[in-house]
Amino acid sequence: MEFLLVDDHPYMREGVAAALRELHVEAQLRHASAGAQALEWADQQAAAGIGFAAALVDLNLPGMSGLQVVESLRLRHPTLPVLMLSASESPADVRQAMAAGAAGYCPKSASYTTLVNALRLVMAGQVYLPPLMLNAAPPWPSADASGTLTERQLEVLRLVGSGEPNKSVARRLGLEEQTVKGHLTAIFKALGTVNRVQAIQAARAAGLLP
């Protein structure tokens, strides 16, 4: 089980490696200090049929930004779970990371246990948001956002709004569960939200759901 860490601070490697050993005793860590190197390694691993278990990406990187790295990883390796790491605890940065395609956002101030739990969630196909988002007011759309969503995304949104889990949505629409997750990511981005609950509330506010 090998993980990819994209961070330009060498000291982060030891801390993340220690956390990964709590996740899996044989976990290995490959450390890239820049986005271009990380993308090259991710491509090589995928070509070899191995792939990383997850990628941990710093928000602030030299050259290619962390957000650009996340977007590129999601585009080139859509099944790779990506967790954003950052010293920032700004709700706006969390929203940007999730809109870029990250499956979670973990502040660097978090404990090893929190980081491990966040990784477990994103590797299981779920979303991790830090506690700082609990009281953050999401930016609801001021007008009908239906024009920015495809018909399929609207179908996914309606089923999610009725309480259907991803697996059930996939079964009812004849889709792969990973495809449903991809539609949800696009829905979150269109509505300016970072999770299902916020998306449903935003959709109701925009008149997309009853």
- 110-to-16, 56, 64, 148, 156 alpha-carbon distances in Å: 11, 14, 25, 35, 33
- Tell me the two tokens of residue 70: 């996340």
pLDDT tens-digit readout, 5-24 = 999 888 888 888 888 888 88
Contacts of 49 (CB under 8 A, 6+ apart): none
Q: What is the pLDDT of residue 103?
A: 85
pLDDT tens-digit readout, 146-191 = 567 888 999 999 999 888 889 999 999 999 988 998 888 888 877 8
Burial class (CB in 10 A: 0-12, 13-18, 19+), 50: exposed
| Residue % of the chain over a pLDDT of 90 | 35
Q: What residue spans define the domains of the chain?
A: 2-133, 146-205
Residue 3 backbone dihedrals phi, psi, to 5 degrees: -115, 155
Q: What is the pLDDT of residue 143?
A: 44
- Residue-averaged pLDDT of the chain: 85
Distance of CA 69 to the CA centre of its chain: 12
Question: Beta strand 82-86 with 54-58: parallel, antiparallel or unpaired?
Answer: parallel
pTM of this structure:
0.69
pLDDT tens-digit readout, 112-122 = 889 999 998 88
Entry field: residues in the chain: 210
| Residue % of the chain over a pLDDT of 70 | 93
State in words which class domain 146-205 has.
mainly alpha
2-133 homologous superfamily: Response regulator (3.40.50.2300)
Q: What is the pLDDT of residue 106?
A: 93
pLDDT tens-digit readout, 74-121 = 889 988 999 999 999 888 888 888 878 888 899 999 888 899 999 988
